[in-house]
Amino acid sequence: MKLIRLATSETVSLEDGFLWSDEFEWKPKEQTMERAISGAAIIQEGIKVGARPITLTPDSNRGWAKLSDVRKLQEWSALSEKFRLQFEWPHDNRQFDVIFNHQDTALEAVSVWGSPATSSDEMMRLTLRFWSE
């Protein structure tokens, strides 16, 4: 999997241990139901256009990233730019144009070893949150 900064074509490669944790919670249709004074149901519905959440969470033993990549992603998260998230699995090569989801904390990272990082190659357990376009 990789994240591509569309403005510059820079890429950060992400290992395959991430789970798209909210992939099947999203509903493409929004619907509300109210009752009229007569008791009849008034149902309104529409198809959602964009803003599908994509939350990438780590497995306990995978879904790690180097501290240097986490810092780059943190820099990118502060930009008002679009990115392309590209899956690179044999069974899944979908890609999504995304922006960072700051409403729900765009990026979280903790040391895999539970202690302060001692180099930029130190591995971090990473969670990323995006909105798809």
What's the mean per-residue pLDDT of the chain?
Answer: 91
| pTM for this entry | 0.85
Containing structural domain, residue 95: 2-132
What pLDDT shows up at residue 49? 86
Q: How far is Cα 112 from Cα 99, in angstroms, rounded to an integer?
A: 26
pLDDT at 119: 79
**What is the tens place of the pLDDT at every residue in 51-74?**
999 999 988 778 889 999 999 999
Q: What's the number of domains the chain is made of?
A: 1
Q: Mean per-residue pLDDT for 74-103?
A: 94
Q: How far is Cα 94 from Cα 77, in angstroms, rounded to an integer?
A: 22
